[in-house]
Structures are given as structure tokens and as C-alpha cells.
Amino acid sequence: MCALFVCTLAVLAPSCLADEGPATVQEPPVVEEVPPGSLAIQVGALELPEVTSAVYVIQVRNDDDVLVGAATINSSDYGSGQGSASYVMPCDADPLVQPNHVSATLVQLYAGLQPVSAVMPPTATQDVPCAPSQDHLVTFDFSVIRSANQGFFDIKATVEDIFCAAKADVQATARAGSAAAVTVGFACGAGAVGEVDTHLYMSDVEVSCKNLGNATIKTATITPDGNGYLPANQITDVDPNNLISTVKVYRGPESLQALDALYWNLSFDLTTFAALDDCTLVMQATATDGALVGVGSEGTAPYQTATNYPIVEWAVPLSLDGDAVLGSSPVGGETAPFDGVQVQYPDDGWVFENHYGGP
């Protein structure tokens, strides 16, 4: 099971702090002589109660890329625990080297003395003016995924307060003409019933096959909209022999930790013809509390997520060297070939073609 959650890092840049630095905060060393100025860094409490502390690395550079200050802080030493912390460090107030560039990296989470296994987000950077008579506030929002196990999907996750489950299974089947039965599961709940509005987003689903004898790529694409068997106009199969068959989609309310949850599952057969090639399942999905405004005309599809908003990405091998790759691929799997479902933080967000907000 994975849990994604959000912490907020606020960076305040008031010049007066250079004179009033609180006695309980020890200033980190200044790496190079620079004109006076300072940053007060505040880290908001994390949302999960079992997380008792967090370690951050903070750096400040002026616009000439001179390192003004750097510090590694533990929220248990500079705050009230659960990730909350305050820290003061210098910035460069010289008007010729503005703005300062503040970077924040969430390095590790702890539950007591035990490190929490997690996929950390990328370093966040903000441009902050540093002037003797001005205060500047910068907020960093981190989304983090941590591991655990539960239920059929093997993986649970929270996106902010949203719990999700995801997995891909490739199983043997006795159906004529089928090399394997493929099942993709995705379910999320944003919170208690009546208090939230869960929405799921999914890309088109692609099965891409590379012929063993040459570089020709054959692709079957599924538009995963609806319930039950999909009509032919939602399946594009470029090979007349068909790469996939028996395509079904199931969507509806889900019982997921007593939350207001939705599921969006997909199943299809990989044909014996396709299994002669090397085939891969490729798709992406995510969830939000509240609907995204579409970037199409009048707010319709497609739908764009925010920068560095976490998504689940599938790149799962279905057949290799002429045989179906049977097994289960959980999120964050580490052993090939079952490591094809991973959490990503797209720098520019992600565009989803399909949306499901419930019945």
C-alpha cells in the first residue's frame, strides 16, 4: 500500500530577521560574504499522524549562483514534530544579484526513530527577492508516496487526503486465441461520504507491440469510457489479426476504507498473435478531490494536472520473447519484469483524455 500526502513549506524573507533572529534558532554558516538579509523558513505540519518528523535540505543562492546559505534541518529539533519546523538563514540583499533562489528538498520522513519508506518528490525551487525593508512569502507543496500493503490491489495511496489503489495483473487463460488475461485496477476515495467529491482521470490505454524480427511498432488503443464490453469505435487495433480482444471496462462506487470512493477497472485478452511480439501496456491515471477544469472548449476534455502532481504510470510488459509475462505488477515494484507500475511527478503536469466523477 502507498500513501501520498502533502506537506507545505513556507519561506518568509524579511530583512528585519537579520537583527531579531530568535535565540532558539541556530543560523547555518554563510558560505560566502554577501550583503545582509535573511530568510525565515517555516514548515507546516504533515497530515499523517504517524509521521513524527521530517528532514529537509534548504539552500539559498543569489542570482549569480553564489551559495549564500545551506542547512539540513530536522523538524523534531526545530518544531513541534510531524514535519512542522522553523528556521532562519541568510539571503543576499544586494540589488544587483536579485532574486535569490531558494530550494527545498524533503529528504526523509520518520515515524519515531524508524525511517518511513517513501518515494520523495523532486526538489522545489522558488525565486525570492531579498530587500532590507520587505517581507516575502514562498510556499512549497510536496506530495509524497509511502509504502504499505493491503487488499487485492496490494497498493494504497493518498493524494493529499485521497486514498488510491492500483495494480496490473497478467494471468493465464484457457480462452481460445488468448495468450493472457490482463486486468488493470484503479480505485480512489477522497474522504468521508458527503464531505468530498472524488474524481478519477485516466489516459487512453495503449498496447504497443514490437515485432521480434524488425522495428515495426503495432499499437492497439482503448478509450476506457463506459461500462461492460466496449464498442468497436472505442478500440483502435491496427493489426487485422487483432492484438487484443474481449475488452471490458467497469466503473462505479467502491468500498475503500469507508471512504467516498470510485473504481475504474479494465480487462482485456492479449491474443496469441500479439504474444508472438514484445508487447507493453502503457497508461496513466490520477485522482483529485473536486473536478479539474478541462483545457478544451468550455472546460471539457482534456484535463491538465498541476506541476509535479503525482500520477500512477503503467509500462507493464505483457509478452516478451514470444511468451506472455504472467504475474502481478504493484505500484513501486522493484523486481523486473514486475516493476512497470510507478509513481511519477511530471514537471509540467499531465494531460488526461478521460474523466470519471461517479454515476
Q: What is the pLDDT of residues 141-178, one digit of tens each?
A: 666 655 433 333 333 444 555 677 788 999 999 899 99
The per-residue pLDDT for range 316-357, each reduced to its tens digit, is 999 998 899 999 998 888 899 999 988 888 888 899 999 999
Write down the pLDDT at residue 31: 41
Domain with CATH 2.60.40 in the chain: 2-145
Residue 42: per-residue pLDDT: 57
What pLDDT does 202 receive? 95
- Taking all residues of the chain, what is their mean pLDDT, rounded to a whole number? 77
Residue 298 backbone dihedrals phi, psi, to 5 degrees: 55, 35
pLDDT at 121: 79
Please give the chain's pLDDT, 359 residues, in tens.
333 333 333 333 322 222 333 323 334 444 444 445 556 665 554 555 467 788 888 888 899 999 888 888 887 776 655 566 666 667 788 889 989 888 888 888 888 888 877 677 788 888 888 876 555 666 666 666 554 333 333 334 445 556 777 889 999 998 999 999 999 988 888 777 778 888 999 999 999 998 755 556 788 999 999 889 998 889 998 888 889 999 999 999 886 666 778 899 999 999 999 999 999 999 999 988 889 988 887 778 899 998 888 888 999 999 998 899 999 998 888 899 999 988 888 888 899 999 999 98
pTM for this prediction: 0.66
Domain 2-145: which CATH number of 3.40.50, 1.10.287, 2.160.20, 2.60.40 = 2.60.40
Q: What is the pLDDT of residue 151?
A: 33
